[in-house]
Amino acid sequence: MKPIGLAVIGAGYWGPNLVRNAQATPTLRLEWLCDLDTDRARSVLGPYTTVRTTDSYEQVLADPNVAAVAIATPAATHFDLVRAALEAGKHVLVEKPLTPSSAEAAKLVDLAEEAGLTLMCDHTYCYTPAVRKIRELVHGGEIGEVQFVDSVRINLGLVQPDVDVLWDLAPHDLSILDFVLPQGMRPVAVAAQAADPIVAGRACVAYLTLWFAGETMAHVHVNWLSPTKIRTTVIGGSRRTIVWDDLNPQQRVSVHDRGVDLTPASRLAPDERRAALISYRVGDIQVPALPEREALRSVMEEFATAIHEGRPALTDGRAGLRVVRLLEAASRSIAAGGSKELVEGDS
């Protein structure tokens, strides 16, 4: 495949990671690093580079050698930057969340589809070997029907100046759920509660509950204030349960053949159905072998491949829109004191 000319927009926290992985991806050719602080951009690239720096986004979009842009700027700037790139005929990779509102996200999705351009969200965790394996296990039916999800993402983190903990950390968990769960399994309602115990002016602790069709629920806990860092997700199925501990390199993913079995009512006499037997299953634990590979390298490769093949990326604009809709519903719930809020139509 001929390398795709790429410009990275933003040289702050995440931009340097995009630069490094773009330069290591043969199907991409980094042309520009654009940042309002050109000195910072030059320091990211180092003294020996052919990549150009600029503080002019218009200059980048006017370059015919640039076919795609990767945007790593604050969320509030995403809509204008992505729209300008799409209108200039550029493919776009954008940092999470896609936009701060679902209305804006939907406009970008429509614009990209009308123009036949790739719009991809950098939901980085979805490209880790662990999450790719979890998706394979769930979609392959290894764990049976999904019955519950519990996710914890807490640490002593940086209080962000522009977003609360919900919009900072929950996109990771929500994008992972969107990625690993079966396509027909989408949240239909959400309730959330949040607190600001340090009076930071924005929520620093939040709890989300998501409801799916039927009896399946998911719970997500995000927190900037915990002195202990925890990154765990448990996905319980009717046959097996997956435990993902992202901080345990020796056993990131384990599959437990343990659970609860209920004798089907159809096998019982009518007078026995109210006292259906529950049995506990205790079996083996399997630990799949996972390759060691930087997720962001896979993000860059997927972006380039989606462009070349003219297909939606694994985490395309519609995936980003679904995550933003969940975040909006959670924010409405918090504002209403934890009420159960319906999620807007699926995309």
Q: For 233-251, what is the mean pLDDT?
A: 95
Q: Residue 15: which of 47, 40, 39 has the closest Cα?
A: 40
Q: What is the pLDDT of residues 276-294, one digit of tens each?
A: 556 566 678 999 999 989 9
Is the distance from CB of 326 to CB of 189 less than 8 angstroms? no
What is the pLDDT, as a whole number, of residue 261? Answer: 64
**pLDDT class of 112 with cuts at 50, 70, 90:** very high
241, with CB counted inside 10 A (0-12, 13-18, 19+), is buried
pTM tops 0.75, yes or no = yes
Tokens of 340: 């159960």
pLDDT digits (tens, 9 = 90+) for 267-277: 666 666 555 55
Residue 345, pLDDT above cutoff 80: no
Question: Taking the CA atoms of the chain, what radius of gyration do you get in angstroms?
Answer: 22
Residue 280, pLDDT score: 62
For the segment 209-221, the average pLDDT, to the nearest whole number, is: 94
pLDDT of residue 260: 66
Phi, psi dihedral angles at 142 (to 5 degrees) = -60, -30
Mean pLDDT taken over the chain? 93
| Residue 240 burial (C-beta neighbours within 10 Å; 0-12, 13-18, 19+) | buried
pLDDT of residue 339 exceeding 70: yes
What are 15-26's pLDDT values in tens digits? 999 999 999 999
**For the chain, what percent of residues have pLDDT higher than 90?**
84
Average pLDDT over residues 221-241: 96
Alpha-carbon dihedral angle through residues 74, 77, 82, 88, given to the nearest 10 degrees = -130
> What's the one-letter identity of residue 225?
L
Backbone angles phi, psi at 24, to 5 degrees: -95, 5
Pairing of strands 68-71, 91-95: parallel
pLDDT digits (tens, 9 = 90+) for 41-63: 999 999 878 999 999 999 999 99
d(CA 296, CA 233): 21
What domains sit in the chain, N to C, each tagged with a CATH number? 4-125+295-315 (3.40.50.720), 132-293+326-342 (3.30.360.10)
Alpha helices by DSSP H, listed for the chain, are 15-23, 38-45, 57-61, 78-87, 102-115, 129-139, 165-180, 295-309, 317-335
Sign of CA dihedral 87, 92, 95, 98: positive
Q: Are 291 and 253 in contact (CB under 8 A)?
A: no
pLDDT at residue 82, rounded to an integer: 98
Enter the tokens of residue 17.
Answer: 């990671």
